[in-house]
Chains A and B, each alone.
Chain A
């Protein structure tokens, strides 16, 4: 009896903590949305108000009209998808190899790969730009997506997750005559579904908010990503709050949708008992 009461109160405490934290998490987002439906004259109120007196969709109308956001969305979606697919493939395969195989140079190679993530893009951006220029890829889709075809953290992440897959499973498959590639496709990939789902979200997120590289590589409107499109609302000295919050909300929504879709993949943990047969 006592056990159940303790369990219930533990749950309630957890909920309280999570809800308080949740409010802190959601507050800026709520403000962002609320501001996006305010008319200009209400935007600058002090202290800021959370309830608009005369809400309007005007900002959204302006944002969607002023710039071909449909096209920007398509561009961003294309680039993000290519990036995500490439990252999922390279990270899972490489992660698998680094986790389950021993070969000369493995640890050094892995560390070297990880080290490339320790310098942010801003630091070597100019060298990369000169390289891309030499390929003739300035102002092209290939040029934009090039730096995000791989993700060192992705390789690392998959490696850590695949480590926990028991070696017995792999050995059993090998005894059955499976090639290494088939082990990868039929055992590793399915067992890593949750990790892959999470990685896909991170890759999408990364690519979606990619700004500084598209800024210098893209030279025409038809290739613009959503992030680039939003900067037009940042005037020299002020931010057009109504417009930029509307634009930001539009930019954020697809990621949230992708998150919800992929989330189901993540949370379904996989039990090994089902596969032992």
Chain B
């Protein structure tokens, strides 16, 4: 009947509706990012000295750069650990808080778990440096109760990585927890009522109703967590900054390496090539996650 007109009004709505968003993106994101792509093929400094086209030169140099490889390995390991633990823990928390009997207490818990997300980084870093302190730190204290000997968490390379992982998980679980809560609340009670009528029991409800219906949200958290983990920077920067008297060991991550190359050594082209590689890795992982989790109902 009016199918063609309907389709046209659909398309009109889509394209016009998307217009403001796309416009903003193109101007403030796509153009600068595309420029970064372009710069990755140059030896470029904002000082305008010695800028020249070098094709894939930066990329070749990167893979021979020991620091870059370290950053790559560290960031990947970091991401695997952080994504896994933060997603699992925050999902568990959300499920707990979603329980009907928790309703009264939920606001307080939510606030408490959200606190780390909003607390500014500098006081957080100072506090965690204390928690990780070899002599009087809380972490070693608790470990000693379990019979584990104290360690210098922020000094040795592997330990420092785990220390940053723990701190990063701590900082973000409130955030993902809120997202899961939103998703859980949106699952209509009707589904649960129907399941109850059919005689389903706790675990079954979770597996066959909650989890599948939560899938879009789980995909969201997975993708966002992956992207944020690969982009980690502030924690590392502040924890090991040379400001605070007793500095910790640097855990070299992707964005730190990019930052150092771009802003301290002024090798913008080199840093841009690194950024491109970061983008490609994260893009690949994201597409993979979409394939696995993205089958919408």
Binding site for B on A (CB under 8 A): 7, 11, 14-15, 17-18, 21-22, 24-29, 31-32, 35, 46-48, 86, 89-91, 93-94, 96-97, 101, 103, 109, 111-120, 122-128, 131, 146-147, 149-150, 152-153, 155-157, 160-161, 163-164, 174, 179-181, 184, 194-195, 197-198, 201-202, 205, 208-209, 227, 230, 234-239, 241, 244-245, 248, 251-252, 255-256, 259-260, 263, 266-273
A47→B136 contact, CB < 8 A: yes
A28→B124 contact, CB < 8 A: yes
CA distance A96 to B32 in the complex (A): 27
Contact sample, A vs B, 7 pairs, CB 8 Å cutoff? A27-B127, A32-B127, A131-B27, A131-B32, A152-B29, A180-B9, A266-B182
Contact with A201, one of B178, B275, B297 (Cβ below 8 angstroms): B178
B111→A256 contact, CB < 8 A: yes
Interface residues of B, CB < 8 Å — how many?
Answer: 101
Q: A-B contact count, CB below 8 Å?
A: 266
Query: Could you tell me the distance in whole angstroms from the C-beta of A114 to the nearest C-beta in chain B?
Result: 7
A128→B24 contact, CB < 8 A: no
CA distance A35 to B189 in the complex (A): 46
Contact with A164, one of B32, B39, B186 (Cβ below 8 angstroms): B186
A123→B17 contact, CB < 8 A: no
CA distance A238 to B242 in the complex (A): 9
> Given A113-B25, A161-B216, A124–B11 Cβ distance below 8 Å?
no
Q: Mark B31-62, 1 if CB is under 8 A from A, else 0.
A: 11101100100000010000000000000000
Query: Could you tell me the distance in whole angstroms from the C-beta of A221 to the nearest C-beta in chain B?
Result: 20
Residues of B within 8 A of A198 (CB): 178-179, 182
Contact with A103, one of B11, B123, B183 (Cβ below 8 angstroms): B11
Residues of B within 8 A of A259 (CB): 111, 114, 118
> Given A122-B255, A263-B110, A272-B188, A237–B243 Cβ distance below 8 Å?
yes
> Given A123-B36, A157-B179, A248-B119, A116–B25 Cβ distance below 8 Å?
yes
Residues of A within 8 A of B158 (CB): none
> Given A123-B255, A123-B272, A127-B32, A118–B227 Cβ distance below 8 Å?
yes
B130→A124 contact, CB < 8 A: no
Contact with A31, one of B27, B113, B127, B244 (Cβ below 8 angstroms): B127
Q: Mark B153-185, 1 if CB is under 8 A from A, else 0.
A: 000000000000000001000110011011101
> Given A22-B109, A32-B123, A116-B25, A256–B118 Cβ distance below 8 Å?
yes
B21→A90 contact, CB < 8 A: yes
Residues of A within 8 A of B287 (CB): 111
> Given A46-B136, A149-B28, A160-B216, A29–B227 Cβ distance below 8 Å?
no
Assess whether B248 is interfacial by the CB under 8 Å rule: no
B123→A150 contact, CB < 8 A: no
Residues of B within 8 A of A184 (CB): 17
CA distance A132 to B29 in the complex (A): 12
Assess whether B99 is interfacial by the CB under 8 Å rule: yes
